[in-house]
Every structure is written in C-alpha cells, then in structure tokens.
Amino acid sequence: MTAPSRNAQSGAVLLIALIMLLVLTLLAVGSMRGVTLESRITANRAHDIQLSNIADSALREAEFRFYGPNSPENLADKLEPKAANCATTNTLKTNGINKPCLLAINSGDLLDFVNMPSDVSADNLGTDSEGSLIWMPYRGTDPENSTEANAQHQAGWNSILATETGNAAVNAEYGMVAEGQGTYFYLNNGRAGEALYLQSTNANIYLGLNN
C-alpha cells in the first residue's frame, strides 16, 4: 500500500484549517454578542434599581412629613393645601414639626393624576401664589443632615388629601371635621426625574385643633 503523494494532499489541510478557523470565529462572535447583551441587561437592571431607590427615598420623605406632634398650628397644615408648604423654603425642622406639601387636586382630576402623575400642571395646585411647586425636592428624613439627589435623577415628592364623596374624613361625627377630628387618608407620591413614579397611602387619626 503506497502513501498518498504530496500532490494529492495539496490544499486539503489548509481548507480544513480555514473551516475550523471560521467555526471558531463564529463561536467567538456569538459569545461576544451574548456577553454584550448580558452586560446591557445588567446595566439596565442596575439603573432601574437606582431609580427605584431614589423614588422610594422621596416617597419616604412624603410620609415622614406627617410624623411628629400634631399641635393646633401644625395640624392645620396637614388638613388643607397651602401654597407656602409647596415651596423650597419648607425645609425639615429639628423639632419634628414638619409640613407636607398637599396638592389641591380637584376630585375630577384625582384619578388622572394617580394614573399619570407626570401630567399634573400648575393649575392643579389650586393657588396662584408664586414660588409654589408641584414636586418638592428631596431632602431626606434627617433635618440635621439633609441631602439631595443628583441633578440627573432628581427626586421629588408631594401628597394629596384623599377624599371620598366630598368628605375630608371618615368616622367623624357631625361638626368634628371642622375641628380636624377623624381619620384622614393621604396619597403620597415619589418620583425619580421623569422616569419613575411610586405611590403609597397612609391614614392618620387626629383628635382635633382643640385637643
């Protein structure tokens, strides 16, 4: 049995090598595309978590504004919208008497605001006072170490006094609402820029302005 001549083998090894190189190249390109896709997914996930944390922090401040003592002078700020409470001058107080930014959303516009909070306009504030804001800048819950989110992911918050059939409070006897007695429900809103919005509700029981 004679071995194949050199001429009979001419080009066969090169062809096989080129095919194997092509296969390896395709595998490498496919792997690189997979890594790139996974990197983008991871980056987007990290970005979403960051936005969620920012909006959640703003939401916590909106809720925090209802904590603390309910003195007569402070309780009124929690029962009716005031333009002065929706201004940058409304900062956190070390004495715990903080004021929420309550928006005067018309009952007919409340559902639209809940579904699309980004569409709220200055007209929904119910005031013509200059300097009032729709979204308060985030400062945190520590008045001695207030913070702000960076400009790219600016956090904001506000609150709405939720009413039912025109009543400001539930489980309140006749005349008690005028004194600020009863159970009041609030819708709190937090946002991270214009990309993400979070909402929560809380209920406060007040004994009234005269207690």
Pick the closest to residue 100 from 163, 25, 190 (CA basis).
Answer: 190
Query: Which amino acid would we find at residue 62?
Result: A
Pick the closest to residue 138 from 51, 73, 205 (CA basis).
Answer: 51
Average pLDDT over residues 47-67: 90
Strands (E), the chain: 136-137, 155-162, 181-192, 196-207
Complete DSSP assignment for 52-99: HHHHHHHHHHHHHTT-S---HHHHGGGTS--GGGGSTT----TTS---
How far apart CA 14 and CA 138 sit, in angstroms, is 67
**Under a CB-based contact definition with an 8 Å cutoff, are residues 138 and 130 in contact?**
no
Q: For residue 158, give the 3-state DSSP assignment.
A: strand
Average pLDDT over residues 84-110: 82
Higher pLDDT, 50 or 121: 50
**Under a CB-based contact definition with an 8 Å cutoff, are residues 201 and 188 in contact?**
yes
**Under a CB-based contact definition with an 8 Å cutoff, are residues 61 and 67 in contact?**
no
What pLDDT shows up at residue 165?
45
What angle is formed at CA 100 by the lines to CA 94 and CA 101, rounded to 5 degrees?
A: 130
pTM of the complete model: 0.72
Higher pLDDT, 26 or 115: 26
What pLDDT shows up at residue 58?
92
Q: Which of 105-119, 130-144, 159-173, 182-196 has the lowest mean pLDDT?
A: 159-173
How far apart CA 35 and CA 131 sit, in angstroms, is 49
Average pLDDT over residues 35-41: 82
Confidence of residue 128 (pLDDT cuts 50, 70, 90): very low
Domain extents for the chain? Answer: 49-207
